[in-house]
Homo-oligomer: A and B are copies of this chain.
Amino acid sequence: MLDDVLKTIDDDLPSSLERLSNLLRIESISTDPAYAADVGAAAEWLATDLAGLGFDASVRPTPGHPIVVAHDRRAASGPHVLFYGHYDVQPVDPLVEWATPPFEPQLVTVDGRDRIVARGASDDKGQLMTFVEACRAWLKVAGRLPVPVSMILEGEEESGSGSLKPFLVANADELRASVALVCDTAMWSPTRPAITIMLRGMVGEEFTVIAADRDLHSGLFGGAARNPNHVVADIVAGLHDVDGRVTLDGFYDGVGEPAEAIRAIWESLRFDQSAFLGSVGLSAPAGEAGRSVLEHIWSRPTAEVNGMIGGYTGDGFKTVIPAKASAKVSFRLVGDQNPERVRESFRAYVRSWLPSDCRVEFSPHGGSPALRLPHDGAAVAAARKALRDEWGVEPALVGSGGSIPVVGMFKQALGMDSLMVGFALDDDRIHSPNEKYDVASFRGGIRSWARILASLAE
């Protein structure tokens, strides 16, 4: 049966690309109110397409752009999956840098690789259509899907997903499934797929050190008066030891090390850290001594000062000792690190540095724990097998240094883990002019999802 499905996918690829092109022609830019009707049209297009496949599909209003929900529960058994994608796209500026109009999809061949060029071709219309087309093939060949499938397709991902979490909470019973499938990530390389099994958490904290009750003249007071720029610098400088480790009390509680099986996969990736750093003009890893760059960005927690300001920062000079100085610090969390404990430890650390006649004000900015998908659980096992069969290579099990907000929302609102598989490539130029999606990504993605659905049913 799966072989027939895969053959149908290949046979129907031209019409799959035609459908993707039709969706890409809709200018569903979610950040710009001028395109609100287009965003709605994309939702309608998807709901109509899914209804045509037999899904119970609807366009559901929110305070922002609508959310498309679709269910096909005709499969008698197997784990219920909830697929997530988004049909809104980034703005197209600067328009002059586009070689072809962003909403007139083009099939072109570059270096022997076919690609479809349009805004949203990769992020996320192309990616979400891989799953829709996989369902279409299964329904055409078998008349039903291997497992019960629900979909949630939002229209606000590029503008902050403001409506999504309330919607999940309000519709939790309808939407809760065994596992979420999230298709918004990339392949490890054009020939090797990836499953993202770790997302770092984050704690943001701004602190302001206040010394004198006014700005002082650094000639008249310099030397005698406490300079909050110096205090902030001391605090920031003391945040890491000479080995690059974060000095906060208890910071590494719950961090742990990746399983041996994960480490083995990471070693097999032969990650080129010189190329990674070199791509942004750097050459020396800055993180904890004795750790690889992959560990730095996937499995180790960090403390980074994202912003720092105090005193006169305009052109020229002003010899002031400012009344206050501040910094915004973010901590990336892994494993079981507790966001609130990290925040409290940081605040205690800052207070411990504070001279007697300074005071400090704190302002919290978000806190979320790290997320992990058990690398040896059923969902990952099913996806590994399916991807290995399709691509002929063991998929990379990777971490992500940043967050994917929807994954946290699924965990918090629905108690669900997310299987993150996507087929984007690093050169897809998402959010930039001339965004593209390789036809090999599209075809391989459809075939991969067809296999994953079958594998999940086993």
Q: Which residues of A contact B (CB under 8 A)?
A: 200, 202, 204, 206, 211-214, 216-227, 229-230, 232-240, 273, 276-277, 280-288, 293, 296-297, 300-302, 304-313, 316-322, 325-328, 330, 332, 355-357, 365-366, 400-403
- B residues less than 8 Å from A283 (CB atoms): 356-357
- Given known A212-B280, A316-B365, contact A296–B232 (CB-CB < 8 A): no
A288 with B223, Cβ < 8 A, contacts A212-B282, A306-B312, A306-B317 known = yes
Residue of B nearest to A299 (CB): B223
Knowing A305-B311, A357-B284, say if A297 contacts B227 (CB, 8 Å): no
Contact of A229 among B276, B285, B308 (CB under 8 A): B308
Residues of chain B contacted by A280 (CB below 8 angstroms): 212-214, 216, 221, 225
Question: Are B402 and A220 in contact, with the CB atoms below 8 A?
Answer: yes
> Contact partner of A222 among B216, B237, B304, CB < 8 A?
B304
How many copies of the polypeptide does the oligomer hold? 2
Contact B401 A211 (CB under 8 A): no
A408 to chain B, nearest CB (A): 13
- Closest B residue to A200 by CB, please name it: B219
Q: Is the CB of A401 within 8 A of B219?
A: yes
Question: Measured between alpha carbons, how far is A264 from B405 in the docked complex, in Å?
Answer: 68
Task: Tell me the nearest residue of chain B to A325, going by C-beta.
Answer: B308
By a CB distance below 8 angstroms, the chain B residues around A235 are: 233
Residue from A219, A224, A288 having most chain B Cβ neighbours under 10 A:
A224
Residue of B nearest to A226 (CB): B286
A302/B222 in contact, CB under 8 A:
yes
- Cα A365 to Cα B225 in complex, Å, equals 22
* Interfacial chain B residues near A332, Cβ < 8 Å: 218-219, 222-223
CB of A355 within 8 A of CB of B284, answer yes
- Give 19 A-B contacts (CB < 8 Å), ordered by A residue: A211-B282, A217-B402, A219-B401, A222-B296, A222-B297, A223-B286, A224-B277, A227-B305, A229-B308, A229-B327, A233-B237, A284-B355, A304-B319, A307-B310, A307-B313, A308-B309, A311-B328, A312-B328, A316-B365
Using known A-B contacts A218-B332, A223-B332, A297-B222, determine if residue A310 contacts B305 with beta carbons closer than 8 Å. yes
Measured between beta carbons, the chain B residues less than 8 angstroms from A220 are 297, 400-402
- Please tell me if the beta carbons of B310 and A225 are within 8 angstroms of each other in the complex: no
Chain B residues closer than 8 Å to A236, beta-carbon distance = 229-230, 233, 237
Q: Which residue of B lies closest to A239 (CB)?
A: B230
Which chain B residues border A312 with CB–CB below 8 Å? 306-307, 328
Determine whether the beta carbon of A357 is less than 8 Å from that of B282: yes
- Determine the distance from Cα of A282 to Cα of B231 in the docked complex, in whole angstroms: 14
- A316 CA to B363 CA in the complex, in Å? 9
B226, A237: Cβ atoms closer than 8 Å: no
Q: What residue of chain B has the Cβ atom nearest to residue A234's Cβ?
A: B237
Assess the B304–A321 pair: CB atoms within 8 A.
yes
Given A312-B307, A403-B219: A284 touches B325 (CB 8 Å cut-off): no
Which 8 residue pairs are nearest across A and B when measured between Cβ atoms? A219-B402, A213-B281, A233-B236, A237-B237, A223-B296, A307-B311, A229-B305, A224-B296
- Of the candidates B217, B222, B240, B356, the one whose C-beta lies within 8 Å of that of A284 is B356
